[in-house]
Amino acid sequence: MSAMSVAPQKEAEGHIKETSQVSSSIATPATTIASTKLQFLTRKKKIVIFIMVGAASLALGLGLGIGLTRACPTGEEDSSSGFPSSTATPSASGTASADIIQPSVGTTWDYPLGFSLTTANANASTVFYPVDLENTSEDTIAALKSAGHTIVCYFSAGSYEDYRADADQFPASAIGNNLDGWPEQWLDIRNDQVRSIMAARIASAAAKGCVGVDADNIDGYTNDSGFDLTEADTVDYVRFLAQTAHDAGIAYGLKNAGGIVDQVVDVAEWAVNEECAEYEECADWAPFVEAGKPVFHVEYVEDDDATTVSAEKKAKACAADGQEGFSNIIKHYTLDDWVVYC
């Protein structure tokens, strides 16, 4: 077990509702922005984006390796929850269609889970953006895509969050221990109803127009989850999530879980990693780059009011051993609109 397997990891989970007014500016590699803290965001361990504006930028985006495969169906949505009913499953038919993307190694990204991303505050040169599935509207996703960005939907696939619209659908028997001091609980990823709920979330992502999913917290087997989860259970679950996404016509990205990279790199279109430089684990994700798939890597600064990064911190975050080819950024733990690009 690696060092990262026993240390807590910060991760923004309690995402905010979209607001009607947002900052019209965003940090660039040369500038930083003072951010507004909108809501309590949580952190955890070991857990996972495109196109410049203008005709020339769109041409570049096409060169970043977007591949074509199957059509993307819509899910049957439960209007009371904002998610499809957990009985809804991706279907081979549907009126909406999109091609499964394959981002290229080195694609630019940011992780805006701590603020409402809009066309007004998105960085024109940043391509890949994950956004919160439940709290981001279909209209916002469409507008961001029209502006040339690639938008994927974030949700927690391995933890129970009682504030989510579909929280009442989880069976009590599948809800386990707390996530090391954070207000959510591990899920039994082997449970059929848990998997049905996650299939419904993926169907919702496809219906909203997200071109992929960023499914978090799939590494309960390395934590005190309250269940006897194994590495094999996690590999099986990742393959289930990836197949469900692909059947819905959208892509899947692995989030953290470096110990199973070799076993699932074939079914994921990218990986999102948090703090592999801090824990000296970046080489674990090298198989993605070797397969021509990007690793979206973020390191964090402890001070959420920081507006600069020390040369030492930037060197470690941007050029750690095993990091060749990664898409590297530095963020506040709150995942607000402050970012430093490597």
The predicted-structure confidence for 90-105, as pLDDT tens digits, reads as follows 333 333 344 899 999 9
User: Which tokens sit at 78?
Assistant: 């439960």
Residue of 98, 22, 41, 113 lying closest to 296 (CA atoms): 113
Binning pLDDT at 50, 70 and 90, where does residue 79 land? very low
pLDDT at 215: 98
pLDDT at 93: 31
pLDDT at 247: 98
Beta strand extents in the chain (DSSP E only): 128-132, 150-156, 159-160, 175-179, 182-187, 212-216, 251-255, 270-274, 295-301, 327-332, 339-341
Binning pLDDT at 50, 70 and 90, where does residue 135 land? very high
Amino acid letter, 213: V
pLDDT at 191: 98
CA angle at 263 for the pair 223 and 110, rounded to the nearest 5°: 70
Kindly report whether the global pTM for this prediction surpasses the value 0.85. no
Rounded CA separation 275/3 (Å): 11
Q: Is 162 exposed, middle or buried (0-12, 13-18, 19+ CB in 10 A)?
A: exposed
Average pLDDT over every residue of 203-212:
98
pLDDT at 201: 98
pLDDT at 182: 80
pLDDT at 2: 35
Non-local (6+) Cβ contacts of 321 within 8 A are: 280, 282, 283
Rounded CA separation 317/299 (Å): 6
Examine the pLDDT at 22 and tell me if it is beyond 80: no
pLDDT at 77: 42
Rounded CA separation 15/114 (Å): 6
Average pLDDT over every residue of 201-229:
97
Which of 11-15, 136-140, 151-155 comes out lowest in average pLDDT? 11-15
Average pLDDT over every residue of 261-270:
98
Binning pLDDT at 50, 70 and 90, where does residue 27 land? very low
pLDDT at 99: 86
Percent of the chain topping pLDDT 90: 68
Binning pLDDT at 50, 70 and 90, where does residue 178 land? very high
The mean pLDDT value of the chain amounts to: 79
Q: Are 169 and 86 in contact (CB under 8 A)?
A: yes
pLDDT at 227: 98
Average pLDDT over every residue of 199-213:
98
Q: Are 146 and 154 in contact (CB under 8 A)?
A: no
Average pLDDT over every residue of 258-285:
97
pLDDT at 212: 98
pLDDT at 256: 95
pLDDT at 184: 95
Structure-token match 């989880």, residue found = 170
Higher pLDDT, 67 or 121: 121
Residue of 114, 192, 97 lying closest to 154 (CA atoms): 114
Examine the pLDDT at 64 and tell me if it is beyond 90: no
